Structure 1
């Protein structure tokens, strides 16, 4: 496969680089103490959904000014049609745009709404839903969160227990969601709820709903993780009335809408560039006097570390090629399938291997949590804790392997074991 840019893609890449240089707000600087949100499009020191609501007016204004600059070009949702605030770019141009923004270390805007919900509404939404929700996302004025996971359900999403009961022209929603990324900063939620308790198989009784996060009966409680940050939350629904017009797709067919959304979630380039940056930063730091002072000195450590870094570099290039292959399928008019699960699985496990490599480079010093005075400002210490969740965020490694086996390799589904 030849991943070289066409002349048109090369020209667009230059256009994006010039735009970032000229329009990114100089006052919107990275916060070295902030933890990342754990999303693939993270850029260290930025968290746009949080920054846009910051108590610091400089940070808040910078985040909003950056969103406004991108919205002028339709680049918050570049692949969407222009009528909904997008730029009508090709899948490959969208890939180039995201890649160059990540390489410039500037944050993307409106992540889950632009990259997950928007494309899903374009496939399954009504014209009213598209007109009501897409322009606000594309302007950076409305943010969304995903209400799928529940306590006790684990990776078996079809076992969810949140209920939605039809009452006239609305659904009455009751239940709980958990591990909702940045839900406390969201204006709207897209939620899976059970509407047929007797459905067999279970996934046939689920409906996809759009829920106003400020509606009466919605309670949001942030969850603090082991880093001391709160990148996600739990959400409670108590007799929340959701207009039937905010149902996406048919009643009891929401599972198929959700699978479309999850396919888009697993197809990005963000993680690849983030890992490239981390690896390049590690190599550069180890070549400095300070880095050499922190590096392990036990016999064979340097040679072992060189081998590990070389292997991580090769794996990052593999991940890049997986991302390029996935977007090439999209460019051919296909929805992301099992290839995106290969990308997700490989990237999640690479995140953990890269974190361990960085920690091994510094031996006992890698345990220093405070950034001041730690090697590489404790970047890999924090990454090790970030990476704990990698293999179950967006679908566990077991789920991804099942998808690859059944949809990609056409292997038979395993039969339940008999007692």
Structure 2
């Protein structure tokens, strides 16, 4: 397939590069000592939802200024209609925008609200819901988190037990959500709750929008394997959520949730991140400093790095193929699972390749004085989460087998 830009796409790519160079705040720099979040589109050293409320005024002001600059062009929500603050870009131009921002190593803004909830409301929300929630997302003023997973309902999403009981104009919600990415920084949550415990498990669920300031909602950060807190658990104790905040019909929330998940990105963020990680590894091991840390036995290391480069190009082509289907008006199905599975497992292989290049020095966790600032040591722990973010590798294999290959369940 020919993935070359058309003349118009090439011009737009140059426009994006010029915009980033001109408008990205000079004082908004990576936090070298901090952990980035775990999502594929995260740029190391930045965590925009956290940065916007940081105690560091330079970081906070930089995050807000960057959001304002993107919002001027509708580039926080590039594919949305202009009436809701978007730019009305084509799928391919949205892809190019995301790719160039990743290559420039600048953070995207308002990811879950912009790329998951927003399109869901455009497809299934009421006019009142669209008017209330979409413009603040497009301006970078309201952040969202996804409240789907529960302690015993991660990959098996249909088994959620958080309960919502109708009481007049409200639902009274009780239960717990877990692994809520960046939940402690979210202004709002979209959650899947059970409203009919007697119905078939896929048919008794409802999709609700919940203000995190609601009495009875408690958000607690969870410390991960790295010692950081990229996600949280959320507790509901008689929290009253207006019926007006229900998206779609009662007991039909499963289908709304599947709409939300269908808007997962194509995966260009992971491709660029992996490509840059490998390039930094090659440059470093060829430097004088890098040679001091390089393990004595480098037999096969060159071939291993070459294999990782080839795999990154495969991932890039999977991402482009997913986008090409969207451009053609199709909805990616099992192809998205192929992309997710391949990218998740590639993250682990790249992390191992980079870490083992330094032998015993790969055990250094502190960034000061470690090879490449211990980047691959940290990536090894990040990559553990890649195998279940957005659906476990086992679930992805089931989707590929049944929907892609036509195998029986």
**What's the TM-score bracket when you normalise by the shorter of the two chains?**
over 0.9
* Residues 188, 212 of structure 2: 8 Å contact kept: yes
Alignment of 1:361-372 (within 5 A): 361-372=357-368
1:272 CA displacement: 0.8
Query: 2:387 matched to which residue of 1?
Result: 391
Counterpart pick for 1:400 among 375, 393, 396: 396
**Take 1:154 and 1:74, find their aligned partners in 2: how far apart are those partners?**
34
**Take 1:258 and 1:334, find their aligned partners in 2: how far apart are those partners?**
19
**Take 2:404 and 2:384, find their aligned partners in 1: how far apart are those partners?**
27
Q: Normalising to structure 1: TM-score of the pair?
A: 0.96
Question: Is it true that 1:209 corresponds to 2:208 in the alignment?
Answer: yes
* Residues 115, 265 of structure 2: 8 Å contact kept: no
* Residues 266, 343 of structure 1: 8 Å contact kept: no
**Take 1:166 and 1:67, find their aligned partners in 2: how far apart are those partners?**
38
Query: 2:155 matched to which residue of 1?
Result: 155
Query: 2:91 matched to which residue of 1?
Result: 91
User: Matched residue of 1:192: which SS?
Assistant: strand
User: Matched residue of 1:59: which SS?
Assistant: helix
User: Matched residue of 2:86: which SS?
Assistant: coil
Query: 1:293 matched to which residue of 2?
Result: 292
Query: 1:416 matched to which residue of 2?
Result: none
After TM superposition, where is structure 1 displaced by more than 3 Å over at least 4 residues in a row? none
User: Matched residue of 2:225: which SS?
Assistant: coil
**Take 2:85 and 2:292, find their aligned partners in 1: how far apart are those partners?**
52
Question: Is it true that 1:306 corresponds to 2:302 in the alignment?
Answer: yes
Alignment of 1:250-329 (within 5 A): 250-298=249-297, 301=298, 303-329=299-325
The number of residues matched between the two structures is 409
**Take 1:122 and 1:306, find their aligned partners in 2: how far apart are those partners?**
48
1:266 CA displacement: 4.8
1:155 CA displacement: 1.6
Deviates more, 1:249-258 or 1:85-94: 249-258
Q: Normalising to structure 2: TM-score of the pair?
A: 0.99
**Take 2:96 and 2:399, find their aligned partners in 1: how far apart are those partners?**
28
1:40 CA displacement: 1.0
Query: 2:374 matched to which residue of 1?
Result: 378
Question: Is it true that 1:355 corresponds to 2:359 in the alignment?
Answer: no
Question: Is it true that 1:74 corresponds to 2:74 in the alignment?
Answer: yes
The alignment yields a C-alpha RMSD, in angstroms, of 0.9
* Residues 266, 320 of structure 2: 8 Å contact kept: no
User: Matched residue of 1:203: which SS?
Assistant: coil
User: Matched residue of 2:172: which SS?
Assistant: strand
1:334 CA displacement: 2.3
Deviates more, 1:400-409 or 1:214-223: 400-409
Query: 1:339 matched to which residue of 2?
Result: 335
Query: 2:57 matched to which residue of 1?
Result: 57
**Take 1:409 and 1:381, find their aligned partners in 2: how far apart are those partners?**
37
* Residues 113, 143 of structure 2: 8 Å contact kept: yes
1:154 CA displacement: 3.5
**Take 2:217 and 2:139, find their aligned partners in 1: how far apart are those partners?**
25
**Take 1:148 and 1:338, find their aligned partners in 2: how far apart are those partners?**
21
**Take 1:72 and 1:165, find their aligned partners in 2: how far apart are those partners?**
42
Unaligned residue ranges in structure 1 (runs of 5+): 414-419
- The superposition leaves residues 137-184 of structure 1 with CA deviations (integer Å, 9 ceiling, x where unpaired) of 000000000000101223211111100111112111110000100000
